[in-house]
Chain A
């Protein structure tokens, strides 16, 4: 319960939550970037374990995933890199079902726990396909963060919210990850629907890339997840400092607004 406890405590202190995402294994100094964004005001950090066929991801994270794979990154190498890191916020991995399936749910959950990871997001495991992953994660102490979408009807929403651990991930728009010019109207609608249903932390992700969008989205929920905008900075050659500066700008905007 490390993630949920940490996020509840932060929220209850009056702070909006911020979870940056970066692709694991993207560069030699990717762990330095991870630690830098963690120190720049993140409440948790998502680490993408790259998959060859990421259907929930738009062009930026697709490019980062193939770049990391081309460098030879594997789930094992990424977890090895992380396990030596001394990070004081909870860490979450985001990857696809076949990475879990190939390793085996129990073995994969165990390897996350051994590397000091606290939670996992597997977007292509919907409610109907939670076995055997959810129980394996629970047994290993890994919080299984589930997703809800703008098209999720109320009865499904209630079941997903009930089963999700760590936080509830509200997908802000109908579409894949990536930067958008404006925040989708669906984000606020979904945020409010989920908040009305649960006391668990509710974060909106997908389509949030600027401090202004983060502030706007956070009005309807407990906080935001920002991925593609950060990954683009890293893909363009920005190092830990540039990454931290961007995350710091999100943090300040949220702190000033709330």
Chain B
């Protein structure tokens, strides 16, 4: 399979195979077409790349290192390499995407950005880029998430953003997206919707993957230096799936096996059926009539009933697999990585670690080399985990 690129550009309708598309009201279609043209032009322009990459280096802290997790490797019997996206400015891979979209916002002459956020990582990253570029910023966040991620709300406010708690539906990420879309329908002429993952109407799933591709390309070069080749497995957590899409894009034309780890309570690939919501067609947790189901995950960033359309496509063609792990396994992995490597992972990223821990010596043969995208740091989660662990011990 070496040489073929399963993660190519979508077709003219914005589809990866049968997934993707542009399922938005007419009020938003001109903006989607404008954004597609603006991104296509920018992405073919060396000057745009130079500005984007320079900002990621001098402001975002790239390149992020590749760390050999020697203690964890010794314990598991597989060789674990960590792509340290949690060391980026704002603590996750999200900055890669928002820097690119903030540049585009300026190119399109818009003065305001809006964003949805689950755990707060994308909201913080968007608020950061807005502060840097002098843009007005409104972030929609489910009320449940504003409670479990209180500090991130304050961070966004410090950065000058307005945070609007969303009280409809399940009050989590899905509803934050609905509310951001409703804002955008009314504000589209002056406002860019900075979507945080590889989802939404075309061109977002493609554009966000391209803006995250830098993770995979760096990791590919770093693995080449360290291993003289590619790892056997590339593993990342998947909610919408932007960090996974970014790292997979560096390895889609190699023999490396690609593994996207979902939360058990939000495993759209496996437990869902094809559906249309938030602007795209992809696998979706829903009932027999098409009402979208609520996801359940310990991690606010993965608490989402859908998944980016390109992941549904990669699953369908067999290029990537999408297993799931449960909340208990995630809590174990969160603590294990902290103790063995001195790295506190985000609860989202701990899903990827949890799968490696569970499958080492099983699905992952002993002696394999495994690259894990450590997409975010866990500082934001320590209060929540402390509370959960205290409850568990008391029981």
A residues within 8 Å of B by Cβ?
51-56, 58, 62, 66, 69, 74-76, 96-103, 123-129, 146-153, 156, 160, 171, 174-176
CA distance A62 to B179 in the complex (A): 11
Contact between A98 and B189 (Cβ–Cβ < 8 Å)? Answer: no
Contact between B26 and A147 (Cβ–Cβ < 8 Å)? Answer: yes
List residues of chain B with CB within 8 A of the CB of A151: 27, 30-31, 188-189
Given contacts A148-B26, A152-B26, A174-B188, 7 further A-B contacts (CB under 8 A): A55-B185, A102-B288, A103-B290, A124-B24, A126-B22, A128-B22, A171-B26
Q: Does chain A have a CB within 8 A of B274?
A: yes
Q: How many A-B pairs with Cβ below 8 Å? A: 115
Chain A residue at minimal CB-CB distance from B174: A53
Contact between B290 and A51 (Cβ–Cβ < 8 Å)? Answer: yes
* 8 CB-based A-B contacts, threshold 8 Å: A53-B278, A55-B185, A97-B23, A124-B25, A125-B23, A126-B22, A126-B23, A127-B29
CA distance A66 to B169 in the complex (A): 8
Q: Given the known inter-chain contacts A98-B286, A152-B26, A175-B186, please indicate yes or no for A128 contacting B13, CB distance below 8 A.
A: yes
Beta-carbon contacts under 8 Å, B1-46 to A: 13, 21-27, 29-31
Beta-carbon contacts under 8 Å, B162-207 to A: 168-169, 174-175, 178, 181-182, 185-189
Q: Given the known inter-chain contacts A126-B24, A129-B22, please indicate yes or no for A153 contacting B289, CB distance below 8 A.
A: no
List residues of chain A with CB within 8 A of the CB of B385: none
Q: Given the known inter-chain contacts A174-B185, A175-B185, please indicate yes or no for A74 contacting B26, CB distance below 8 A.
A: no
Beta-carbon contacts under 8 Å, B290-341 to A: 290-292
CA distance A100 to B23 in the complex (A): 12
CA distance A163 to B278 in the complex (A): 25
CA distance A108 to B13 in the complex (A): 24
List residues of chain A with CB within 8 A of the CB of B178: 53-55
Q: Does chain A have a CB within 8 A of B343?
A: no
Chain B residue at minimal CB-CB distance from A77: B289
Q: Does chain A have a CB within 8 A of B141?
A: no
Contact between A55 and B181 (Cβ–Cβ < 8 Å)? Answer: yes
List residues of chain A with CB within 8 A of the CB of B77: none
Q: Which of B22, B188, B276, B291 contacts A101 (CB 8 A)?
A: B276
**Residue among B31, B175, B186, B289 with most chain A CB within 10 A:** B289
B residues within 8 Å of A by Cβ?
13, 21-27, 29-31, 168-169, 174-175, 178, 181-182, 185-189, 273-279, 281, 284, 286, 288-292
List residues of chain A with CB within 8 A of the CB of B30: 151-153, 156
CA distance A176 to B183 in the complex (A): 8
List residues of chain A with CB within 8 A of the CB of B289: 74-76, 99, 102-103
Contact between A126 and B29 (Cβ–Cβ < 8 Å)? Answer: yes
Chain B residue at minimal CB-CB distance from A57: B182
Q: Given the known inter-chain contacts A98-B286, A98-B290, A98-B292, please indicate yes or no for A53 contacting B169, CB distance below 8 A.
A: yes
State the main secondary structure of chain B at its contact with A. Answer: mixed
CA distance A162 to B283 in the complex (A): 33
Contact between B29 and A62 (Cβ–Cβ < 8 Å)? Answer: no
Contact between B25 and A56 (Cβ–Cβ < 8 Å)? Answer: yes
Contact between A51 and B23 (Cβ–Cβ < 8 Å)? Answer: no
CA distance A62 to B168 in the complex (A): 8
Contact between A101 and B281 (Cβ–Cβ < 8 Å)? Answer: yes
Q: Which of B169, B187, B281 contacts A52 (CB 8 A)?
A: B169
CA distance A172 to B13 in the complex (A): 28
CA distance A156 to B26 in the complex (A): 10
Q: Which 4 A-B pairs have the closest CB atoms?
A: A102-B290, A175-B186, A149-B27, A52-B291
**Whole-angstrom distance between the Cβ of A103 and the nearest chain B Cβ:** 7
CA distance A209 to B143 in the complex (A): 30
Contact between A176 and B29 (Cβ–Cβ < 8 Å)? Answer: no
List residues of chain A with CB within 8 A of the CB of B286: 98, 102
Contact between B26 and A55 (Cβ–Cβ < 8 Å)? Answer: no
List residues of chain B with CB within 8 A of the CB of A125: 23
**Residue among B168, B185, B187, B274 with most chain A CB within 10 A:** B185
CA distance A152 to B182 in the complex (A): 18
CA distance A153 to B174 in the complex (A): 31
Contact between A176 and B26 (Cβ–Cβ < 8 Å)? Answer: no
**Whole-angstrom distance between the Cβ of A216 and the nearest chain B Cβ:** 21
List residues of chain B with CB within 8 A of the CB of A101: 274-276, 281, 290
**Whole-angstrom distance between the Cβ of A173 and the nearest chain B Cβ:** 8
CA distance A75 to B290 in the complex (A): 9
Contact between A149 and B26 (Cβ–Cβ < 8 Å)? Answer: yes
CA distance A126 to B31 in the complex (A): 13
CA distance A125 to B276 in the complex (A): 10
Q: Which of A66, A69, A124, A152 contacts B276 (CB 8 A)?
A: A124
